[in-house]
Chains A and B, each alone.
Chain A
Amino acid sequence: MTELRPRPLVRLRNITTRFAGQSVHESLNLSVYKGERLALVGASGCGKSVLLNEIALLTQPQQGQILLFGQNTARMDGRGLLQLRHRMGMMFQQGALFSSLTLLENVMLPLREYQPLPLPLLKELAMLKLKLVGLPTSAAARLPQEISGGMLKRAAVARALALDPSLLLLDEPTAGLDPASASAFDDMLLELHATMDLTLILVTHDLDSLWRVTDQVAFLGQKQVLCKAPIEELVMQDHPDIRHYFANTRAAGAQGRRQGGLPV
């Protein structure tokens, strides 16, 4: 497959990250291609979220190169980085919606700052995003603290999609949701991916989403990407860390549920 898609959308080359002398990544390499639905998995504390933040240009690694859309971010000035940021959307784990703004105003904020458009059109564009992530019309006027966790996460995705990015980064999108909401959230991600020409990179511990949403999984361990493969291949790997991660009853349950006839 890889030879058919020559230029990766995201390419991490020899990334080394250290926190207070402790290294989290050591010459890590990873390529993500257009249209992929990639999950970053690994034990807690292996630096998945840090890696996601580095792709989102929120933290900088001590060494190594980050290439986004074929451009080396180390050599770019503020203006170039801003344009790159517009092509990426990030959903934070707790939603990180601005608590003093309504959901509509939250989604409208990036549009308003970067697109000098008439207010009615801005509102309609923001409303479209809220509807696309499956929120009811009435939610637009609510404040973030007035809505449920599932709706909050959808609204966070709507804000990340405000500028129609081609790369969507999600930090633990289904953490803290009940199984039904999590599964509905997964469906929404698949629908958005299919209709809006998106590339997804998500950090997740939710094995159900792993089987359902992703087509590639990168396993982080020993400060490296140990393996990048579809989940079906990944669980067959012989590496002790990968086997340890998947060889427990909870993982077996998710795999069993998936293979036991859930629609693909």
Chain B
Amino acid sequence: MKITVENLSYIYAPGTPFEKAALRDINFTIESGDFVGLIGHSGSGKSTLVQHLNGLVKPTDGTIRIGERVITGKHADTKGLCFTVGLVFQYPEQQLFAETIYQDIAFGPSNMGLSPAEIDLRVRTAMDLVGLSPDLMEKSPFSISGGQKRRVAIAGVLAMEPKVLILDEPTAGLDPKGRDEILNSIRKIHKQMDMTVILVSHSMEDVAKYCDKLLVLNEGEVVLSGTLAEVFHHADTLTDIGLSVPQVTLAVHKLREKGIEIAENVFTVSEAISAIMKLRG
């Protein structure tokens, strides 16, 4: 589903000493089926921005369109929006509450008013998508490991079968294995369910590996946007705002500066390997 954001601004706590312009004149378009990485420092407004997209936060100014729906302004059409735009919060395992994993994942679908049979089907599909074994269904969500809890929480959003899936730092605090597993699941879901995915992250390596397009946020403003190649071309701008390009990309840039004719747009280790192999003929 296409997402259009025009002149979006958000002022936090206006009229108090805590007042702060969290977002300033944000403009971007995300095409249907894109896998977009939203990167920026902590405090750059990433989380605030994504909460606008499912109607949880109302902008101070500006327009947001999700597909054909305008979700801002006086005639905002936000009914059931959270079922269309699924948002997985940071540390989503902290919102688990039900007695069993099954009930927790079923919370979203039952709020949609679906039939028990449909709910059952969706819970099972969602558990399968995130790689949770069906044996866990009747277990308490508080008795499983941190990585599994996070999968349960993601499944809870997936079970609503949203058209747009937004994940706010889904890998924060996970070990490398857990991180790869979660991100691989998300890639699989993106392909299988034909969802538009927005991945909020500050790991350049992660977004380089999984996303097609990037949106870079700094102090509430969009500083760069476009394909991986377009964004990573501006290595200096990224460094200026305290971010960086992936380390392999940096290494390849250095090699090119030394006059080695290696392919330019290399963002992952496996791409680097094939580029080097090509050099050797």
Q: Do A and B interact?
A: no
Q: Which residues of A contact B (CB under 8 A)?
A: none
